[in-house]
Amino acid sequence: MDKIELKNLLFLARLGADEKDYPKIIEKLQNTFQMIDQMNELDLEQFEPLNNPLELTNISREDKDNDRNQKKDFLKNSPKSDEDYFVVPKIIE
């Protein structure tokens, strides 16, 4: 992994890092991938990918409304809100 790849990865993960820390981060990631890469030694073709241990199927509930309107409670947790809206910085330049 080089600095450009890390920069792309950081953006993909929506994380920021100082460029001076890049070598340290790359080293840490590479160490982990070195361990993970041991998977390559295995012959896995006969095994179908497994998503969920119990292979559960989805369930659905009755389409019924409830009287629990928590709009105010949820807005209270917002770092910034105005009336019924979450407020964010400018999106369109």
Site of interaction with another protein (CB under 8 A):
9-17, 25, 28-29, 31-40, 42, 44, 47-54, 56, 58-59, 61, 70, 73-74, 76-80, 86, 88-91, 93
Helix (H) or strand (E) holding 16: none
Residues 24 and 26: their CA atoms lie apart, in Å, by 6
Least CB distance to another protein at residue 3 (A):
14
> Which DSSP helix (H) or strand (E) runs through 82?
strand 81-82
Q: How far is the CB of 38 from another protein (least distance, A)?
A: 5
Nearest distance in Å: CB 84, another protein: 13
Q: Which of 3, 86 has the CB closer to another protein? A: 86
Residue with tokens 């012959």, as numbered in its chain: 43
The pair of three-digit structure tokens given for residue 8, joined into one six-digit string:
């792309």
Q: Which two tokens stand for residue 76?
A: 């209270």
Smaller CB distance to another protein: residue 4 or 52?
A: 52
